[in-house]
Amino acid sequence: MALPAAERLPYALELLQQLTGQSAEDVVRVRKQLGVSKKHAQMLLARNAAFPRTLTKEQIMTAIHGPGWEQDIRSVAVMASKVREKHPDLIETVWGTGYRLTRKLDVGTDPVAGRENSGDPWTEQDDEDLRRMMENGSELHVIADEMDRSERSVADRWRRIRGRKA
């Protein structure tokens, strides 16, 4: 029995979230393997779960943020662009439909606990990312989440970076 038209999208989105069930460990492994941000890793895991199918922007946003997301749908294109900067042959655009991976990712099975970068030394790339996000007006808690570090760690590092400029 088919669902009424008004119930199809919510049902499909809920099913997609169940299918992509991303564990924190998988997100951390993809971040480490590919050197991407948390949101980019979540996007890649959603596409990986659907491989070789194409996912629409709406399906990707639901996989990352859950049902009821309020972010701008264009952010999916930005995320795809950022991943392509590091891995040009990983994501394929299917014009008018969405995005798909060109190959299935091997996520691995080694468990990793806690925040990925907690206790890790800051790299020049981390400093550059932090500087860019702060200059763009991002809030501290958003930066901490994106960089997978504590707010205190991010705030301390930002003070050190600003102190170097003086």
Q: Across the 166 residues of the chain, what is the mean pLDDT of every consecutive 10-residue run?
A: 66 55 70 82 81 84 74 82 86 87 73 50 88 87 80 84 73
Quick one: pLDDT at residue 113?
38
Exposure of 28 by Cβ count < 10 A (0-12 exposed, 13-18 middle, 19+ buried)? buried
Quick one: pLDDT at residue 56?
86
Quick one: pLDDT at residue 24?
66
Closest CA to 162 of 123, 133, 131: 131
Quick one: pLDDT at residue 43?
82
The sign of the CA dihedral 50, 87, 117, 70 is: negative
Partners of 101 in the β-ladder: 91
CA–chain centroid gap for 125, Å, is 18
Q: How far apart are CA 110 and CA 119, in angstroms?
A: 19
Q: How far apart are CA 79 and CA 132, in angstroms?
A: 16
Contact 22, 3 (CB under 8 A): no
